[in-house]
């Protein structure tokens, strides 16, 4: 026959030994060992000490994992943020560089157009100047030729009086005047003649 008191004491010793072994194996520390070494009512609920110690360890492991996950997420967010900042800075630098190149190209185009306009204007001025000079030269030559012709004509009229008189005499006004003068002269001559006696 078994003795219930001895059986209960043996069960308690076995539970105490198992608690000590599991506490040492799980690394629960001094608190679990002390909970297992208690006597009386505390000794009957040895598992309660183990449960509270395990809950702390589980809680600590969960918090450590959560902390580790949060740190990883924070580092990843910071790296993403830094990468985004680098990309934005590179884009801004590239855009500024392209804008500067576009502005420089615009300035070069304007300078080239201004130079082409200046060369074209200078060419037109030179051509217009040459044309004007040529026209002035032709005008001067024509004026010299006209002056020479007038001078020749005047000299010719000075030395050829008969030709001038003939030309003047052939005009209708002078023809009438000459005819009148001749008629007057004839009439005067007739009047002055004495009648011839017969």
Where along the chain do its domains lie?
64-158, 160-193
Q: Give Cβ neighbours of residue 133 (< 8 Å, ≥ 6 apart).
A: none
Burial class (CB in 10 A: 0-12, 13-18, 19+), 53: buried
Q: How many angstroms separate the CA atoms of 46 and 53, rounded?
A: 11
Mean pLDDT taken over the chain: 74
Q: Using 50, 70 and 90 to split pLDDT, how confident is the model at 28?
A: very low
Whether residue 32 contacts residue 19, with contact meaning beta carbons closer than 8 Å, is answered with yes
Q: Using 50, 70 and 90 to split pLDDT, how confident is the model at 32?
A: very low
Whether residue 32 contacts residue 56, with contact meaning beta carbons closer than 8 Å, is answered with no
Q: How many angstroms separate the CA atoms of 148 and 161, rounded?
A: 20
C-alpha count within 13 angstroms, C-beta hemisphere, residue 165: 5
Q: Does the model's pTM come out above 0.75?
A: no
Whether residue 46 contacts residue 19, with contact meaning beta carbons closer than 8 Å, is answered with yes
Comparing 22-36, 92-106, 124-138, 143-157, the range with the smallest average pLDDT is 22-36
Comparing 57-61, 86-90, 102-106, 126-130, the range with the smallest average pLDDT is 57-61
Please report, rounded to a whole number, the percentage of residues in the chain having pLDDT higher than 90: 15
Helix 161-169 vs helix 172-192: crossing angle, to nearest 10: 90
Q: Give Cβ neighbours of residue 11 (< 8 Å, ≥ 6 apart).
A: none
């Amino acid at each position: 026959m078994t003795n219930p008191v001895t059986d209960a004491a043996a069960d308690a010793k076995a539970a105490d030994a198992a608690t000590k072994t599991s506490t040492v194996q799980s690394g629960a520390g001094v608190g679990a060992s002390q909970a297992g070494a208690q006597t009386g009512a505390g000794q009957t609920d040895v598992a309660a000490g183990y449960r509270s110690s395990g809950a702390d360890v589980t809680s600590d492991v969960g918090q450590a994992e959560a902390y580790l996950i949060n740190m990883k997420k924070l580092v990843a967010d910071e790296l993403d943020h830094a990468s985004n900042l680098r990309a934005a800075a590179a884009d801004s630098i590239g855009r500024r560089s392209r804008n500067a190149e576009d502005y420089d190209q615009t300035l070069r185009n304007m300078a080239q157009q201004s130079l082409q306009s200046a060369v074209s204007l200078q060419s037109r001025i030179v051509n217009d100047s040459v044309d004007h000079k040529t026209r002035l030269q032709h005008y001067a030559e024509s004026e010299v030729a006209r002056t020479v012709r007038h001078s020749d004509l005047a000299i010719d009229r000075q030395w050829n009086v008969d030709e001038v008189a003939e030309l003047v005499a052939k005009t209708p006004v002078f023809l009438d005047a000459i005819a009148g003068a001749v008629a007057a002269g004839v009439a005067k001559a007739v009047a002055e003649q004495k009648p011839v006696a017969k």
